[in-house]
Structure 1
Amino acid sequence: MLNVLENLEPKRVFHYFEELCAIPHGSGNEKAISDYCVAFAKSHDLWVRQDEANNVIIRKPASLGYEKAPVLMIQGHMDMVCEKNSDVDFDFENEGLKLKVDGDIVSASGTTLGGDDGIAVAFALAILEDKTLEHPELEVVLTTDEEVGMKGAHVLDVSDLKASYLLNLDNESEGQILTSCAGGMKSRASFPVRFADWEGFGGKISISGLKGGHSGAEIHCGRANANRLLGRLLFELSKELNVGVRSLNGGMKDNAIPREAEAEIVIRPEDKESFIEICHDFIDAIRDEFAVADPDIRIEYQIDIEKEKTFTIFNPTDMERILFMYVQSINGIQTMSMELPGLVESSLNLGIVRTEEDKVIFSWAVRSSKKSLKYYISDQLAYMVEFLGGTYWYEGEYPQWAYRSESPIRNLVADTYKELFGKEAKIEAIHAGLECGLISEKMPELDIVAIGPDIMDIHTPDEHLSVASVERSYRLICEVLKRIKR
């Protein structure tokens, strides 16, 4: 239902954000939102180009007196991460988001909000619409599939783009001016499984309640990874019991720290008491380990003790290889930057484990601000996967965005921020990946910064954005446009 946000300021930004939220636009499902942006441009008599990947480029001529100013690009992505709580019935393919407002906070009911990066698209459309703004010629670049390997940016044709400066609006921290980011890739592994018959009690282990979060922006927070916890519990059980495994599934996106995971299992009747005791000891240990970083973890089990049955399970030898991968493969922070204290330099996140017929798939998001470390992490995974009889590959690789010592746009945004709000902006690098790396590779002379409003808990159903921060960020963007004048 529209008009939930109609009383929020800036009105046109929230008008467009609500319209965008009404259009399903998860990664891979962006045709409708892309067409919406094209229709918007045509209705406002603006030049527009839409490519086969559904990227959209819209041009707005310079306002009076800005004809000789350098061209500025405003850039964001149209897709969103689709995450929901397990008890929420919601169809991301066909339903619009159910928005709600609580004071300064906008969120969605039980799902991700898509503020990452829908608010950037809303900013751009409001700017394109407003004929009262003073600004240079604008090139608005809206890309697709950013959350699943930056596929749109990979194929973006920049041959007709003229921008000297780029404002990327895919930053979720107000007052922060990003000037570089990590590169990355999506690493995959496939383990074949054979099957065996196993008699016992059927059951399930479920892990839920984790905070999750963005695997770049929050990898340093010490939060639990549901896939890793599941593997660890199965390992603890394997030290004393023979547990049959029927399926393994966890996580939805490789770039989101997984919040939930589950295994369908079979245990021998004589092992029931030991199984319960090991699970309880494990639950106590995990609650203690993550009491601060992830206090709401739930580890639950169900065992059907009514009747012993024959089940089809993973061949124990194949399962042992998979369990070895769970327990021994690297995960989380690998190195910290020596140049920028406090910045994660390289990491990986086991975001997805899923069972597909006769194989188990592992998916990681690998990140590094140094290309060599990115490949070293990939090599370590490949070595272990292939040693264990699996198949390894990577895809969706994107480059890091390097810091520029001289940056007029960085200086302009920082000075404008200080004048508007009376405090210094934070000029920082980020461990998350941004499309700035790919675009700067295509346009090496482009001077880039990334800014945006406060959006919290992105890539989780708890995602929410600050209304006041959106207003301040929009004011900053419009003032920066006004000051780009020669």
Structure 2
Amino acid sequence: MGGNEMVLDEIDYMNVFHYFEEISNIPRGSGNNQPMSDYLVAFAQEHELDYTRDEALNVIITKEATKGYENCPTMILQGHMDMVCEKKSDSDHDFLTQGLELCIEDDYLFANGTTLGGDDGIAVAYGLAILSSDSIEHPRLEVVITTDEEVGLIGATNLDVSSLKGKYMINLDSEEEDILLTGCAGGMRAVCKLPLSYKKMEGKKVSIIVKGLLGGHSGSEIDKNRVNADILLGRLLFDLRKHSFELLSVSGGLKDNAIPREALAELVVKEEDSYELINEVKFLLEKYKNEYRVNEPDLTILIQQGEEKEYLVMDEKTKKNVLFMLLQTPNGIQVMSPNINGLVESSLNLGVLKMEEGEIEFSYSVRSSSSSYKWFLNDKLQNLVTFLGGTYEYHGEYPGWEYKKNSKLRDIYSNAYRELYGKEIKVETIHAGLECGIIAEKIKDLDIISVGPNMFDIHTTEERLSISSTKRVFDLLLKVLKDFAEATK
């Protein structure tokens, strides 16, 4: 299936990295769930463990309690099998047929030219390492691995929980070792479409490419002041309004839940106007670089000149509507939480800008811990695009996960952390969406926490996983399983 083999032998720890490498050799981008789902079923069969697989290809693997803990409550360990597939512009990696090329540098594990899939491959690796062990002590376990989390929590939404007995759940989809998550935002995917009409024009093509931006996760990094390439492209085109040009195409971003790092506009100009326009772009680049010198130090704008010929460009109304949409669309943080200092309550991210089949599409990830404000943002986008003569739809709507005042599992995890590290863990809620809210709606009175090792720049080609943190969190997880079993036997 591609990808390097046995790269992680030197750092393996209780089979965690062994299984991470195995799943990294399996193509598992969102929407391509069958290979990974089949692998999990084969794993269960090989280890003679009970399993179920539902129509959404979610897999649940059950392991009975170790001796002495047979009467303890069942613990659910949960994560998702799919990953965000991003690659560098010079990479020829095929996510449908090739595994990842894993690399190690100092304390970090990363993939060559692509996302790593630590989000949420580490949950799968943890779960399989525990399930395959004969020496780890634990209560009865139900390891739940869902599909298509990254494109709207689809697997969790369609998860068949009828076989589950657990009333306690550890979600393994967090990215900071020293933070215990106890709540998350709800959200949805929103798509605005504007009709495209064209006219013919003779001129020279000039391509303008915004690139070098940091990007990142549209939930956990929306407060990092990262510049959205699609939004900056709209500003650039607006700043060029005094120059004569027509718009051939605009595009940017690959995933609605990732802040776009690159965006492209193809313009058509008269030969005699191209010199001034190109100089203006260079001037604007210096202005933007000065503005964003701290938060986006590597921002650049490339200019490529094409041939002079007749092109089919957007007509004047279409061009105005596209620019109006890019300028006026809400994007980024909308409201901060009134209850938790520093927490984003509501945001949205224009993640994908693309043209196809006579339409231009604006795709957003909308997030909010306030259900009513989430629907207000939905209405706001709908009002904007329909005002311009376009259409609107949303999908993948999911609930938030509300903080519980009393949580036995939170207390056990916090105590175990204190005993291992001699300090208090930070208990927080997060703006990013997790599957916890959906599963909590399906299983009444479910006690949930979310944890994970240190990961950085998830959903980008710079994604990396701390090796030492991965080991420490696994040790902590094993202690929690035993402490939980001792406390409830």
Shift of 1:281: 2.1
2-structure distance, mates of 1:82, 1:293: 25
CA deviations on 1:320-342 (whole Å, 9 max, x unpaired) are: 10110000111000000010000
Match of 1:266 in 2: 268
CA–CA distance in 1 between the matches of 2:108 and 2:464?
6
**1:303 aligned onto 2:310:** no
Partner residue in 2 for 1:433: 433
Shift of 1:233: 0.8
Instruction: Give me the whole-angstrom Cα distance separating, in 2, the residues matched to 1:242 and 1:148.
Output: 39
Aligned to 1:484: 484
* AA in 1 matched with 2:146: T
What is the CA deviation profile of residues 229-276 of structure 1, one whole-angstrom value per residue up to 9, with x for unaligned ones? 1111111112x0232111211100000000111112101223223212
Alignment coverage as a number of residue pairs: 483
SS at match of 2:216: coil
Residue of structure 2 in register with 1:362 after alignment: 362
| SS of aligned partner of 1:292 | coil
Q: Deviations over 1:373-412 (max 9, x none)?
A: 1011111110000000010110000100000000000000
**1:47–1:58 Cα contact (<8 Å) kept:** yes
Q: Distance in 2 between matches of 1:469 and 1:430?
A: 20
1-structure distance, mates of 2:90, 2:213 = 14
Shift of 1:484: 1.5
- The within-5 A match list for 1:215-230 is 215-230=218-233
Whether 1:134 and 2:121 are equivalent positions in the alignment is: no
SS of 1:295's equivalent in the other structure is coil
Q: 1:9–1:471: 8 Å Cα contact kept in structure 2?
A: no
Counterparts of 1:253-332 in structure 2 under 5 Å? 253-304=255-306, 308-332=308-332
Query: TM-score under structure 2 normalisation?
Result: 0.98
Deviations 1:23-68 (A, max 9, x none): 0000001110111011001111100111121100000001111111
Identical columns (%):
51
The whole-number CA distance in structure 2 between the counterparts of 1:431 and 1:237 is: 35
Matched position secondary structure for 1:376: helix
Aligned mate of 2:146, from 129, 143, 147: 143
Structure 1 gap ranges (5+)? none
Match of 2:189 in 1: 186
CA distance in 1, matches of 2:125, 2:356: 38
Matches within 5 A, 1:74-85: 74-85=77-88
Partners in 1 of 2:9 and 2:287 — Cα distance? 48
What is the distance in 2 between the residues matched to 1:313 and 1:160?
Answer: 56
**2:14/2:129 contact within 8 Å kept:** no
Q: Deviations over 1:262-311 (max 9, x none)?
A: 1121012232232123212210121112111111011111123xx63211
Q: Show structure 1 runs of 4+ deviating over 3 A.
A: none
Structure 1 position 154 matched with structure 2 position 154? no
Q: After TM superposition, give the deviation of residue 125 of structure 1 in Å.
A: 0.2
Contact 1:71 1:165 in 2 (8 A): yes
Unmatched 5+ residue regions in structure 2?
Answer: none
Distance 2:266 2:282 in 1: 18
Q: What RMSD, in angstroms, separates the aligned Cα atoms of the two structures?
A: 0.9
- Contact 2:114-2:460 at 8 Å conserved across structures: yes
SS in 2 for 1:182: strand
TM-score, normalised by the number of residues in structure 1: 0.98
Amino acid at match of 2:276: S
1-structure distance, mates of 2:390, 2:430: 33
CA distance in 2, matches of 1:367, 1:91: 30
